[in-house]
């Protein structure tokens, strides 16, 4: 039930607008002040001067800041009758009469939109409950699991999902035919998965996927047919297609990948820094920067993802007969060290399980490699003497596994959806799984999303 | 008299309690908003 | 008052931000953050009309207990280190 005290205040339009204006101003301050200002000004109690003494609330009617643990805001409220306080760490409004956070008031929830409210309340509706989580299986159309696992992973990726729901492609694409345009097909999948269930039965929810198959086969004949393909290659193909569509709707503007704003490059692209280090004088001035859309990690003799990243980071001895050090002239084999110059918001790590031997046959490495639910990537980034690299904590959001051999295998994916629940996607079957189940997977591709910086 | 240990514990407890209250605030407010919007317990 | 002054100095020196970020990163990585969320969710599922105040009174004691000893000792050591510098000056 919503707060009767706020409803009372909202009865009078002038009061309502005053409340919302002040509320928005306080939220703006909270969201835009530095760590220091926030802690010294809005997270410090006016009464006891303690910082973070539990939550701190900023009064909606005067400049008072009161803490929770010593009940200084509660006393302020009783003393002067001001009953609303804004929580200075999450911007939520608390009613000190109900002794509860105010929820269930759409205008308050969308208070930043209040000046357009008349239009909004007529032209929009709250998102439907059904389909909120986008859970839907994808029927196997004949060895298409390597595609459906990538589609499920991207459709539940927060950056790809938001890009589609914001209609960046839809609003500009002249094709508008999801069986001829890859990005339109992806939009169709997302519309089917997240839209109101009244309009989409299970068969119609497959349409977007069928369109994606058609677009893929038209764009790359090798993907057609019933042979099993590599999910990692399909991911690269998928991201390339999204980029090509972006270039097309931008009238084929020449866009250098490192400056491209398409969803593929803005969400998945990082930069690798490789330096050739002389083993004699340790000169490392021979430096190159390359864009990277994912990291492929060797797993031989390794049991954890951290070990794989460390070995990637340590570098490898080059056998380069033409090498001659610019600094000391040494011709000793140098070491090539790879570090990360720029991390992407979405980090894709491929565990190299398929080894193509000199003999021509391919073998699959089935060793279990442990990977964490949260990964700090700071240790693998390039460090300048002068600059401190803050902790960069990534959150695991998807795992793609391949069971079976190289050519005869089956792909399944596990994705974390909004709210933190994990689900397993095995073609048309969708099942809820625990995070422990996820971390036991024999992972082939793992997807992380930036969660905390600093 | 406050000592370095007692003050350190007190600052640590402040941090933990504000983090717990932040998580509980966000979780309960979101759950209440969803229940209010959809009328049922959207498990 | 002493504590308030010390906290202010910690914030102004930037060390409070280091402590706060370090603590929240460790709590995230050890799964504590998700556990507290689940505790709150369970209380809501038990009684969907419970207020924040009622839920907090049940969750806060359990959540405080769940902080791992290693994290607690590491962060306390950091805070004591900073305080030792401040108290000298």
Positions of A annotated as catalytic residues are 145, 410
> What band does A204 get if pLDDT is binned at 50, 70 and 90?
confident
pLDDT(A7) > 60: yes
Q: CB-based burial of residue C49 (10 Å sphere; 0-12 exposed, 13-18 middle, 19+ buried)?
A: exposed
Strand order across the beta sheet in which A270-277 lies? A286-292, A270-277, A335-342, A316-317
Distance CA C20, CA A254 (A): 44
pLDDT(A151) > 90: yes
* Contact across the interface for B15 and A52, Cβ inside 8 Å: yes
Interchain contact A452–B (C-beta under 8 A): no
Taking the CA of residue C63 and the nearest CA in chain B, the distance in Å comes to 7
In this prediction, residue A445 carries a pLDDT of: 97
* Contact across the interface for C41 and B27, Cβ inside 8 Å: yes
In this prediction, residue A25 carries a pLDDT of: 94
Q: What angle do CA A409, A410, A412 make, to 5 degrees?
A: 150
In this prediction, residue B43 carries a pLDDT of: 56
Residues A164 and A242: beta-carbon distance below 8 Å: no
Distance CA B11, CA C76 (A): 9
* Contact across the interface for A129 and B21, Cβ inside 8 Å: no
> What band does A107 get if pLDDT is binned at 50, 70 and 90?
confident
> What band does A113 get if pLDDT is binned at 50, 70 and 90?
confident
In this prediction, residue A56 carries a pLDDT of: 97
Distance CA A92, CA A75 (A): 20
Interchain contact A53–B (C-beta under 8 A): yes
Give the chain B residue whose CA is nearest to the CA of A129: B38
* Contact across the interface for A52 and B14, Cβ inside 8 Å: yes
Give the chain A residue whose CA is nearest to the CA of C4: A50
Q: Please give the mean pLDDT across all residues of chain C.
A: 92
pLDDT(B42) > 60: no
In this prediction, residue A393 carries a pLDDT of: 94
In this prediction, residue A251 carries a pLDDT of: 81
Q: Which of B8, B14, B23 sits opposite C80 (nearest CB)?
A: B8
Q: Model confidence over A161-170: pLDDT tens digits?
A: 999 999 999 9
Query: DSSP letter at A378?
Result: G
User: At which residue do the structure tokens 């048309």 appear?
Assistant: A428
Check residues A285 and A58 and name the one with the higher pLDDT: A58
Handedness of CA A123, A126, A127, A128 (dihedral sign): negative
Residues A191 and A184: beta-carbon distance below 8 Å: no
In this prediction, residue A139 carries a pLDDT of: 94
Interface of A with C in 29-58 (CB under 8 A): 35-36, 39-40, 44, 48-51
The proportion of chain A whose per-residue pLDDT surpasses 70, expressed as a percent, equals 97
User: At which residue do the structure tokens 């009767």 appear?
Assistant: A4
Q: Model confidence over A116-131: pLDDT tens digits?
A: 888 888 888 877 777 6
Length in residues, chain B: 43
Q: Other CB atoms closer than 10 Å to residue A56's CB: what's the count? A: 30
| Helix (H) or strand (E) run with residue A313 in it | helix A305-314
Interchain contact C66–B (C-beta under 8 A): no
Q: Model confidence over A15-71: pLDDT tens digits?
A: 999 999 999 999 999 999 999 999 999 999 999 999 999 999 999 999 899 999 999
ipTM for this prediction? 0.94
In this prediction, residue A198 carries a pLDDT of: 59
Distance CA A343, CA A271 (A): 7
Residues of chain B found within 8 Å of residue A55, distances taken between Cβ atoms: 18, 21-22, 25
- For testing contact with chain A, the best of C8, C19, C40, C52 (most A CBs within 10 A): C52
List, in sequence order, the alpha helices (H) in chain C.
Answer: 2-13, 15-29, 32-46, 52-66, 69-88
Q: Which of A39, A374, A454 sits opposite C21 (nearest CB)?
A: A454
Check residues C44 and A355 and name the one with the higher pLDDT: C44
Q: Model confidence over A246-255: pLDDT tens digits?
A: 999 988 777 7
The proportion of chain A whose per-residue pLDDT surpasses 90, expressed as a percent, equals 63
Distance CA A445, CA A353 (A): 10
Q: Please give the mean pLDDT across all residues of chain B.
A: 89
Q: Which of C7, C14, C22 sits opposite A51 (nearest CB)?
A: C7
> What band does A448 get if pLDDT is binned at 50, 70 and 90?
very high
Q: Which of B15, B29, B40 sits opposite A103 (nearest CB)?
A: B29
If DSSP codes are grouped into helix, strand and coil, which group holds residue A427? coil
Neighbours of chain B (3+ CB pairs under 8 A): A, C
If DSSP codes are grouped into helix, strand and coil, which group holds residue A175? coil
Over range A417-445, report the average pLDDT. Answer: 94
Strands A346-352 and A295-298: parallel
pLDDT(C89) > 70: no
Q: Model confidence over A164-193: pLDDT tens digits?
A: 999 999 999 988 777 889 999 999 999 988
Interchain contact C21–B (C-beta under 8 A): no
Distance CA A66, CA A46 (A): 6
Handedness of CA A184, A186, A190, A196 (dihedral sign): positive
Interchain contact B10–C (C-beta under 8 A): yes
Query: Which residue, A431, A443, A426, is CA-closest to A152?
Result: A426
Q: Model confidence over A296-333: pLDDT tens digits?
A: 999 999 999 999 999 988 878 888 777 788 888 888 88
Interchain contact C53–B (C-beta under 8 A): no
> What are the DSSP calls for A184-252, one per residue?
HHHHHHHHHHHS-GGG--HHHHTHHHHHHHHHHHHH-GGG-SSS---HHHHHHHHHHHHHHHHHHHTTT
pLDDT(A347) > 70: yes
pLDDT(C88) > 70: no
């Amino acid at each position: 039930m919503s707060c009767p005290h706020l409803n009372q205040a909202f009865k009078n339009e002038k009061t309502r607008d005053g409340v919302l204006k002040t509320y928005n101003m306080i939220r703006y301050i909270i969201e835009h002040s530095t760590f220091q200002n926030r802690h010294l000004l809005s997270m410090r109690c006016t009464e006891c001067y303690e910082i973070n003494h539990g939550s701190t609330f900023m009064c909606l009617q005067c400049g008072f800041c009161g803490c929770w643990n010593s009940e200084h805001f509660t006393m302020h409220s009783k003393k002067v009758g001001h009953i609303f306080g804004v929580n200075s760490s999450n911007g939520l409004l608390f009613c000190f009469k109900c002794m509860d956070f105010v929820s269930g008031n759409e205008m308050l929830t969308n208070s930043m939109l209040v000046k357009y409210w008349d239009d909004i309340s007529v032209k929009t509706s709250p998102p439907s409950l059904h389909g909120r989580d986008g859970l839907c299986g994808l029927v196997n159309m004949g060895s298409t699991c390597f595609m459906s696992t990538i589609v499920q992973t991207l459709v539940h990726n927060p950056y790809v999902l938001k890009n589609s729901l914001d209609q960046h492609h839809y609003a500009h694409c002249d094709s508008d035919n999801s069986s001829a345009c890859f990005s339109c097909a992806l939009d169709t999948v997302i519309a089917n998965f997240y839209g109101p269930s009244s309009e989409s039965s299970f068969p119609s929810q497959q349409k977007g996927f069928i369109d994606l198959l058609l677009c893929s086969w038209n764009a790359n004949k090798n993907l057609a047919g019933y042979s099993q393909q590599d999910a990692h290659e399909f991911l690269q193909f998928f991201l390339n297609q999204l980029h090509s569509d972006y270039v097309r709707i931008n009238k084929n503007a020449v866009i250098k990948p490192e400056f491209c704003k398409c969803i593929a490059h803005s969400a998945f692209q990082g930069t690798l820094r490789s330096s050739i280090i002389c083993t004699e004088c340790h000169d490392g001035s021979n430096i190159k920067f390359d864009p990277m859309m994912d990291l492929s990690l060797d797993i031989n003799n390794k049991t954890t993802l951290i070990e794989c990243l460390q070995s990637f980071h340590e570098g490898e001895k080059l056998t380069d007969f033409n090498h001659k050090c610019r600094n000391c002239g040494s011709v000793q084999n140098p070491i090539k060290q790879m570090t990360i110059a720029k991390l992407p918001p979405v980090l894709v790590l491929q565990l190299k399980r398929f080894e193509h031997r000199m003999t021509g046959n391919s073998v699959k490495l089935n060793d279990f490699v442990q990977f964490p639910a949260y990964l700090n990537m700071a240790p693998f980034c390039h460090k300048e003497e002068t600059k401190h690299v803050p902790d960069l904590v990534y959150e695991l959001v998807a795992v793609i596994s391949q069971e079976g051999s190289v050519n005869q295998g089956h792909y399944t994916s596990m994705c974390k959806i909004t709210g933190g629940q994990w689900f397993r996607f095995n073609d048309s079957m969708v099942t809820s799984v625990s995070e422990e189940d996820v971390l036991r997977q024999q992972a082939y591709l793992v997807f992380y999303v930036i969660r905390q910086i600093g | 008299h406050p000592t370095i240990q007692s003050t350190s514990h007190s600052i640590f407890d402040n941090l933990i309690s504000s983090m717990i209250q932040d998580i509980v605030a966000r979780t309960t407010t979101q759950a209440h908003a969803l229940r209010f919007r959809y009328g049922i317990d959207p498990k | 008052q002493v504590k308030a002054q010390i906290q202010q100095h910690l914030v102004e020196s930037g060390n409070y931000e280091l402590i706060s970020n370090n603590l929240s990163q460790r709590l995230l990585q050890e799964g504590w953050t998700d556990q507290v969320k689940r505790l709150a969710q369970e209380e809501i599922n038990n009684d969907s009309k419970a207020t924040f105040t009622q839920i907090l009174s049940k969750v806060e004691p359990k959540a405080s207990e769940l902080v791992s000893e290693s994290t607690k000792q590491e962060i306390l050591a950091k805070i004591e280190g900073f305080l030792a510098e401040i108290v000298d000056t």
